[in-house]
Structure 1
């Protein structure tokens, strides 16, 4: 079977650090082109300034991976789906829930695959954590996701704009794990969002969720952490404590700690290949719903202006 010809649209840090190596390491895909008005691409691969230009004049492609800011993904995905091209959506899958619903319907009508890619679900500790928790009674969950925005998002003005999510850009990774591994659904009870005086998106958030049985789930997000970074989920159960650290790559159970190689994006592309081969889509908007609920229900406080 011939590999799927894929174009990488958007050539920022995540595309170069994660997507390019994952595509190169997957025999099911061949990189046909890159697209960005702000980047020169990579040696030996056709590069175009826009998706319109690629579809009109570039090499033929079977799929696109959209690594652009979420605010512009809907139009790009629509262009591709109209041509029957399969679409990989970086997280979050869109700037709004309603536009993702429209994309799902477009994909259904064209028969194209639409994949909302939650990369943290493919961290090494997530699948075994999900299996261990499946028949446990959860009594309490604590999520602490604190990092330095200057390290992870330097110069990315779009992330502070409406639709860019602010601190929920990393925080949604934690929610993508929690919604995947916890045995019961959960929802927001209350929260506080801290917005810098000069920005439109939060730099920190403190949220209280509860699951369908009433177990409390607290979430502490902050983009002002310096030194060691924190990406931890601690789950108290009737059989002891389950803890995921380092963004899900390290799992600690009562029986011990497991460390495994980081293969998040390799797992994403393997999943995308399977979906294309079987003619299916995978679009879970659960994590984005929880973020939308935070913007809907949480209190807002003004924080010190953020200057990069």
Structure 2
């Protein structure tokens, strides 16, 4: 009798719990369905379309595409410009990140200490990021001119031997474009880092100073470990910006030249699709860019992994 009574009480509660779990699951599915549909429509489908088009010979927007199999991919292995573009992209993104992320972190740490005038300074430092790409390119084109500000200053201080045709010399053109990106990125990244670093309790720094820690020790033993995940996130975002946004900067400053010395994957994709009209081949370049991007994101994720 006792066991039957227990079963009669436990059975309804078990059924109610199962119903509650099913309602929760249906609610969760209902909540995520719009986001998944939006992601599939605007992210997954274009990606699949890019991969599908990479197998077609399509040499004009008004031409009829024809299935070419692996023709575009076979040509990729023979394309010397593509190899140059990959090397330039690795340099462009790698050097850009080495300038922007450490520089931005140092600047953000300084701003997080709330120095006098830090609010106005934050606005000034963030301003280059909101300047349009065309205005930024025009400004730096003027700086890099043979009689521009950079060469004029070098001549005035007796360093005339360092004067260059910065955007016309293959040995300096790529570094000049990278410097343009770094100028815009360091300040904005520093302001964003200052917001994250400002959440660290002042008592944490005070305790470190009581133990004899200096500013550099506070920065690398306290500030960086406590914001490592955020630094990794910012590195990923800057990686994507440099990797994908290089097309616009290169187009405005050098148009990929001189020769192919500033050609990047993003710009080469644009050039093949909209200048040369080789749409199918441009999508094959896009697949290569996708693989390079995934490798880069994986390396960054591995570098900033936390031991938890």
TM-score grouping bracket, smaller chain normalisation: under 0.3
Considering Cα pairs closer than 8 Å and 6+ residues apart, tell me whether 1 or 2 has the greater RCO.
2
Instruction: Choose 1 or 2 for highest CA Rg.
Output: 2
> TM-score, with normalisation over the residues of structure 1?
0.22
> TM-score, with normalisation over the residues of structure 2?
0.22
Instruction: Identify, as 1 or 2, the structure richer in helix.
Output: 2
